[in-house]
């Protein structure tokens, strides 16, 4: 039997995601999904006085790099949250009607470098 081919660009570069095969990862991801309103309000939207609503939550969201007509799957984010509201850029007068938040679940983080690789 041959080796399974890499599905994403990161896997092709040698970065495999062994954490996803753990039942602990599944339990954390399920908890995050079930408690997403609390997580968003206590983290990303903690200091915002503007109203917002969660209009979508998606598991295993594809991150795609596109250059011209070429599209490549770079990897997957464990949970993507789509918010609707008015979101202001602190450094300008620019505002956006929607915002996406990406959450990556880890069962353990051996070092900060490992988390951001």
Residue numbers of the chain with a pLDDT score lower than 70? 1-21, 89-95, 112-117
Quick one: pLDDT at residue 20? Answer: 62
pLDDT for res 16 = 52
pLDDT for residue 102 = 87
Tens-digit pLDDT profile for residues 35-52: 989 988 888 888 777 788
Q: Dihedral sign, CA of 113, 7, 29, 43?
A: positive
Distance CA 104, CA 81 (A): 11
Domain ranges of the chain: 9-107
Q: Are 32 and 103 in contact (CB under 8 A)?
A: yes
| pLDDT score, position 117 | 56
């Amino acid at each position: 039997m041959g080796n399974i081919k890499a599905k994403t660009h990161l896997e092709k570069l040698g970065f495999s995601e062994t954490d996803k095969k753990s039942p602990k990862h599944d339990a954390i991801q399920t908890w995050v999904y079930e408690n997403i309103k609390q997580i968003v309000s206590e983290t990303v939207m903690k200091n915002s006085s503007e109203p917002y609503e969660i209009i979508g939550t998606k598991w295993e969201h594809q991150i795609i790099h596109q250059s011209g007509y070429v599209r490549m799957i770079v990897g997957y984010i464990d949970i993507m949250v789509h918010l609707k509201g008015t979101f202001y850029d602190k450094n300008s007068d620019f505002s956006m009607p929607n915002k996406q938040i990406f959450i990556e679940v880890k069962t353990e983080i051996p070092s900060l470098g490992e988390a951001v690789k």
